Amino acid sequence: MEERNEMSQGSPPGAEDVAREGRAKSYARLHRRLDLAGWLLNALLLVLLLAAGWTKELRNVAYGVASARPLALLVYLAMIGAIFELTGLPFDYYGGYVVEKRFGLSRMTLGAWIKDSLKSLGVGAVLAAGLGELFYWALAAHPEMWWLLVAVALILFAVLMAQLAPVLLFPIFFKFRPIENEELVERVRRLGERSGARVSTVMEWKLGEKTSKANAALTGWGATRRVLLADTLLERHSAEEIETIVAHELGHHVHRDIPMAIVVQSALVVLSLWVVNSVLLWATPLFGFRGLGDFANLPLVLLVVTGVSLVALPAVNAYSRWRERNADRFALELTRNPAAFISAMRKLAEQNLAESQPSRVVEFLFHGHPSIAKRIAYAEQVQR
């Protein structure tokens, strides 16, 4: 699609719009730089752990604390986790708290931010411990077939989590409640009927105590499938605008985007594990590891997995933008209200301080959604 200025139709861009886009650009640039710096630091640490042999020393310390392999692995994971948490903390604090406050987006107190960070740390630690134990059990017990076993287990886990996350994981961080606005519930129900998507559950997502940003999402699988609408969205958008946003989420449902995302992720998992296997076979004698199941090789495993994810990132994002474009088209066909779609997009850009027109390179590499300017241009095409 040809690139056009968001404001080329209708009124010319006002000074306010230009200033807003400028602020949005500095906000996005700051986050990208922080992400890049954090990522480089992690990669450097992983290389150091490997090259200086520190990972083998930490493994020996772990076996000094506990002689059984599963327990020693937990001790090792705790030490590695502590190193990365501590070095990453300044980035998390600055990017997750200071920057959000500076741009007037966060509504959290420092205490609330710390509480949320501790919760993420807890959830992350449980998942990392479970994954680590599974990974090194498979490597030690089935050195030929380990990557297939791990891939199958991860895929089953992803399917299970798609069902359980809305009721098990999200409530740890957010409050939800049924939408009380009867008129809106009725609109959504009619929309669902017209689209053939039987999504009966629409929940209000209490985002407003944390941020002024708005969001909407389709989550869950089967009985846990639901559309989530942030209270920040409900506050500022008209009924017609909310309708187009719900229609977009229903588009994801009708297009089976959650199962499709799991298929794409699964392919990526299998590919990553296959590359990890090849690298481990080559590197085990080189680094003097005690076989494939020696967990001192973890920094190498993480480097390989990160490398594969980075290489795949533009392709994964291009896939996501394609699915998002399809959901937009679905919403416009279902509601036949491009004007509401366009004003919803403008409001979202303003509320979330989103770059309307990121550079082509930035959009290609990092964006999972088409730019707001492109989404508006598409709706304008439909309007005519």
Site string for Zn ion, 243-272 (x = CB under 5 A): ------------------------------
* Spatial distance between the Cα atoms of 298 and 283, rounded to a whole number of angstroms: 12
- Specify whether the CB–CB gap between 28 and 36 falls below 8 A: no
Closest among 169, 194, 202, 24 to 105, alpha carbons compared: 24
Least Å distance between CB 288 and Zn ion?
Answer: 48
Q: Which of residues 58 and 327 has its CB atom nearest to Zn ion in the complex?
A: 327
Q: Which helix (H) or strand (E) is 371 found in, with range?
A: none
Q: Which of residues 324 and 363 has its CB atom nearest to Zn ion in the complex?
A: 324
Binding to Zn ion, residues 7-26 (CB under 5 A): none
Least Å distance between CB 252 and Zn ion?
Answer: 6
Q: Which of residues 21 and 324 has its CB atom nearest to Zn ion in the complex?
A: 324
* Spatial distance between the Cα atoms of 291 and 281, rounded to a whole number of angstroms: 9
Q: Which helix (H) or strand (E) is 275 found in, with range?
A: helix 257-287
Task: Identify which range of 130-138, 140-148, 226-234, 316-324 contacts Zn ion by CB under 5 A.
Answer: 316-324
Q: Which helix (H) or strand (E) is 11 found in, with range?
A: none
* Spatial distance between the Cα atoms of 17 and 31, rounded to a whole number of angstroms: 21
Q: Which of residues 148 and 165 has its CB atom nearest to Zn ion in the complex?
A: 165
Least Å distance between CB 375 and Zn ion?
Answer: 10
Count of residues interacting with Zn ion (CB under 5 A): 2
Least Å distance between CB 4 and Zn ion?
Answer: 22
Q: Which of residues 80 and 216 has its CB atom nearest to Zn ion in the complex?
A: 216
Closest among 239, 246, 245 to 183, alpha carbons compared: 239
Least Å distance between CB 305 and Zn ion?
Answer: 27
Report the interhelical angle of 298-335 vs 15-51 (nearest 10°). 150
CA dihedral 290, 295, 299, 305 (to 10 degrees): 110
Token pair, residue 14, equals 């006002």
Least Å distance between CB 251 and Zn ion?
Answer: 7
Token pair, residue 376, equals 């508006």
Binding to Zn ion, residues 31-90 (CB under 5 A): none
Q: In what order do the strands lie in the sheet with 216-219?
A: 175-178, 202-206, 226-230, 216-219
Site string for Zn ion, 323-352 (x = CB under 5 A): -x--x-------------------------
Q: Which of residues 246 and 303 has its CB atom nearest to Zn ion in the complex?
A: 246
In DSSP notation, 204-245 reads: EEE-TTTBS---EEEE-SGGG-EEEEEHHHHHHS-HHHHHHH
Least Å distance between CB 320 and Zn ion?
Answer: 9
Q: Which of residues 221 and 274 has its CB atom nearest to Zn ion in the complex?
A: 221
Q: Which of residues 49 and 327 has its CB atom nearest to Zn ion in the complex?
A: 327
Site string for Zn ion, 267-306 (x = CB under 5 A): ----------------------------------------
Least Å distance between CB 324 and Zn ion?
Answer: 5
For Zn ion, the binding residues (CB under 5 A) are: 324, 327
